[in-house]
Amino acid sequence: MFDGKFRKSVDQRTAPIGRWLVRFGFAADVLTASGLVFACATAWAIAVGHHHLAILLLIATGAHDLFDGPVAKASNRASQRGSYFDSVVDRLSDAALLGGVAYYVTAHHHGQLVLLPFAIVTMTFMISYQRSKAESLGLNARGGLMERAERMILLGVALLANQIFIPVLWVMLVLTTMTALGRFRRVWQIADSPAPAPARTMRAHQHTSRLRRGPSRTSRR
């Protein structure tokens, strides 16, 4: 939802900060890599039960993810390699965060509840994969209730108190599943529509042209 509806307005507000960070010598790839370090630190804090500390580390993780794109654009270094690196690191960060959740659930709860974070990360990767595959075919798969920004916010809410931790994870699973199913339905309908061949060819050509120019560092959400 964030990436589909508010990305342009957020980019306009973060662009000046990106230029300011470039003047101080920050590089986009460094921000992306350090974001993964903060994600791992967040996962550790979640796993050992330091959830208020985890909230602060999660905010830092999100800040790195938010500003690596503006820094790449401000430094004129947006590239295919940077976009690829950003997407891979985002997936590793998602896995680390929910791995920390799984460890905490295993230590403090009984039964098969550990499958809850496993189900969330599975749906998370399905959301990302569907967008990546659809865009490789020249189709639009952006949007949805629970993209990466919303997932991080909801995880932060879950960390506020132990009493709401598991219920919020269930909400995250439901919304993430709805997002994955919604994307599948949307792409399925677009792909099956009787659009003329030239239009589809043009979409594919536009996608290829974006790759040649060097895409922005917006990862597959």
**In which band, very low, low, confident or very high, does the pLDDT at 119 lie, cut at 50, 70 and 90?**
very high
Integer angstrom CA distances of residue 123 from 103, 105, 128, 149, 150: 19, 18, 9, 15, 14
pLDDT of residue 69: 81
Q: Are 36 and 68 in contact (CB under 8 A)?
A: no
DSSP letter, residue 207: H
At residue 131, does pLDDT exceed 70?
yes
The DSSP string of 104-161 is HHHHH--TTTTHHHHHHHHHHHHHHHHHHHHHHTT------S--HHHHHHHHHHHTT-
Percent share of the chain, pLDDT over 90: 44
Q: Is residue 221 part of a domain?
A: no
Using alpha carbons, select from 125, 153, 139 the residue that is nearest to residue 220. Answer: 125
For residues 11 and 33, the model is more confident at 33
pLDDT of residue 220: 47
The domain of 47 spans 2-213
The number of distinct structural domains making up the chain is 1
pLDDT of residue 118: 93
Please state the length of the chain: 221
For residues 196 and 34, the model is more confident at 34
Task: Assign residue 111 the CATH number of its domain.
Answer: 1.20.120.1760
Determine the Cα–Cα distance for residues 99 and 105; give it in Å rounded to an integer: 10
